[in-house]
Structure 1
Amino acid sequence: MKKMLFVLLLMPFFASAQQSYDLIDFSDEFSGKIIVDDNQENSDLETNCTLNLYQKKNGKLVFSKPAFYSGYDLEDSKVKSNIQEIPYGEQSILIFEDFNFDGKEDIALRTGNYGCYGGPSFEIYLADKKGFTFNESFTELGSNYCGMFTVDDEKKQLQTMTKSGCCWHQFATYVVENNQVVPIEIVEESYSGIFADYSVQKRVNGKMVTSHYQEFPLENSDYEFTMVFENGKKMYLTKIYGGDQLGYIFTNADNVVELFIDADFTFNKTTQTLTFSNKSTIYEVSSKEITVKDNGKTYHLNKIKETAGSFNNLKWNTFSNVNFK
């Protein structure tokens, strides 16, 4: 009798308290709840609850997996779902959506904070005849980027974003083939000094082909004089390297850099022209045109739509890389 009493007294210390919360309605076919166990919350795993889904028509359990929830998921003692504020906003424990474009809603289950900068990470389970089956390819997209991937139903594409610090970002686009995600474009942008550098991979005939280009970001630039040509191309004379040197930048209509010169300028005080060379080609810039001399031929770039700044009032003597003639 004493032994039985001792066991009964110990039971409260070993029993685990459970709480359950219903999911706010997310499906016409399924209902759900999370089960929170004290032992789960105190474990070394990042998952801290179990998410269960049931068929509404008969209450049958159709899905049960460990998951991660936080206080943000709760609203009036219920669990929010289908919240996806990409990339850094609130993302709920469950996102119920068609990810592989087969007309059936799939499951994105938050299982921790393994995304970029400790952001949310998701396991993906695709709907099939058996119920919901884990998919490693989709899970890769839901776990290793900045939050959950986004779904473009119209184009039947998926997109991810990730970053490192302020100056490197990656944006990727995928299609779905045989329930596997396949990249069709990956764009990486980085900022170093004057330009934004881009590396673009595009899928061509089943292979990823890489190209590179630079853009001149106007919002962070200190340009002194600009020419805008009728075809949309632009020329900039701008301060570079801390402001004591001059840079010549020629771009296309999308501000993609076609020519950048940062040394060996000569300013002719008599003709009020700036001259420099790029290999065997000689450029002469005035307030009204750009003259290009190449292989014995002379070209006049004078179809100017507008200008900004004043070429004649530039303080040429403040630039250490400008000589005078």
Structure 2
Amino acid sequence: MKKMLFLVLLMPFFATAQQSFDLIDFSDDFSGKIIVDDHQENSELETNCTLNIYQKKSGKLFFSKPAFYSEYDVEYSKVKSNVQQIPYGEQSILIYEDFNFDGKEDIALRVGNYSCYGGPSYEIYLADKNGFVYNESFTELGSNYCGMFTVDNEKKQLQTMTKSGCCWHQFSTYVVENNQVVPIEIIEESYSGFLVDYSVQKRINGKMVTSGYQKFAEGNEPEFTMIFENGKKMHLMGIYGDEHLAYIFTNAEDVVELFIDEGFTYNKAHKTVSFQNKNTGYIVSEKEIVVKDNGKTYHLNKVKQTAGSFNNLKWDRLTNVQIK
């Protein structure tokens, strides 16, 4: 009976015993420790531990907040810090870096995995003369994109990335004004098979101005390609299950200058493809492009190289091509 009573008295001690890990040295002025509590409750976050930061000289507790850790954070019985493998690699519980470019290191504290695709999410605390102060603007960058943002100290800029599936990505660049992040460029790319649509927002005179363009997507294999000496390219390819012909003319950076997918005529005898774009006519052969505009004729024949052949196109299957 006495033995059972002794065990009952010990149970609260074992139930409340907490596991703790020191942080691998991250600062000349501070040391850190996490105290694990798997039963920590927070309706908004996924925190399962407390991160404490102490002044090295005095040993005084300087900063203490709920945080999230996993077994991958622990290495040789210590917790890793300042690990930031962007965009999908390892990102540690603590990132200690100057985020607002004022010369003082700030704190990014991982509080869960609710950024895109279950990636790490961070609260940001900026250093001031009294300690570290939570900043909502920076926290949004550390929580609502794909993991932690990156810091470009040379340009004094921050970058984020986010995505949806394989075919939509967003890349954003920010500057810091009065400890608030301000977007200066947002680029969205959306893949639609052989073309990529780009939407670009740039801050001009305090306002975001939007423009757009298309690029010929990498990895496509057109049936015929003509590359000119100035780097421009012309592609002929079957699209939509090889049942439609597409003409794509790009500049040297693969930005689409002209895209046509209707009204083609194929001349079997001359082995040419012709089409009309408004008042301008085009006749394409394997050697040149003849352009007729306002009564004038231009020969685009400074060809550096070609790839493929008209013979690779299944002309009789192309529903938008008239054969004569």
Give the TM-score normalised by structure 1.
0.93
CA distance, structure 1, for counterparts of residue 270 and residue 166 of structure 2: 44
Matches within 5 A, 1:79-228: 79-219=79-219, 221-228=220-227
8 Å contact 2:238–2:313 — kept in the other structure? no
8 Å contact 1:18–1:38 — kept in the other structure? no
* Paired residue type of 1:87: P
User: What is the aligned partner in structure 2 of residue 33 from structure 1?
Assistant: 33
- Cα distance, 1:274 vs. partner? 1.1
After superposition, the C-alpha distances for 1:55-97 in whole angstroms (9 at most, x for unaligned) are 1111111100010111011111111100111111111100001
Bigger CA drift: 271-280 or 303-312?
Answer: 303-312
Q: How many residues align?
A: 320
CA distance, structure 1, for counterparts of residue 85 and residue 109 of structure 2: 15
CA distance, structure 1, for counterparts of residue 257 and residue 98 of structure 2: 43
The alignment status of 1:52 with 2:52, answered yes or no, reads yes
1:176 match: secondary structure:
strand
For structure 2, the residue ranges without an aligned partner over 5 or more in a row are none
Structure 1 residues 54 and 294, CA gap change in structure 2 (3 angstroms): same
Structure 1 residues 48 and 268, CA gap change in structure 2 (3 angstroms): same
After superposition, the C-alpha distances for 1:124-144 in whole angstroms (9 at most, x for unaligned) are 001110111111110000001
- Cα distance, 1:8 vs. partner? 9.8
User: What is the aligned partner in structure 2 of residue 242 from structure 1?
Assistant: 241
Matches within 5 A, 1:260-275: 260-275=259-274
After superposition, the C-alpha distances for 1:287-318 in whole angstroms (9 at most, x for unaligned) are 21111112222111111111112236654334
Please provide the CA RMSD for this pair.
Answer: 2.1
User: What is the aligned partner in structure 2 of residue 276 from structure 1?
Assistant: 275
4+ runs deviating over 3 angstroms = 5-11, 42-45, 311-315
1:72 match: secondary structure:
helix
Give the TM-score normalised by structure 2.
0.93
The alignment status of 1:230 with 2:225, answered yes or no, reads no
Structure 1 residues 29 and 295, CA gap change in structure 2 (3 angstroms): same
- Cα distance, 1:278 vs. partner? 0.9
Structure 1 residues 313 and 46, CA gap change in structure 2 (3 angstroms): closer
8 Å contact 1:20–1:33 — kept in the other structure? yes
Give the percent of matched residue pairs that are identical in Structure 1 and Structure 2. Answer: 76
User: What is the aligned partner in structure 1 of residue 309 from structure 2?
Assistant: 310
8 Å contact 1:55–1:62 — kept in the other structure? yes
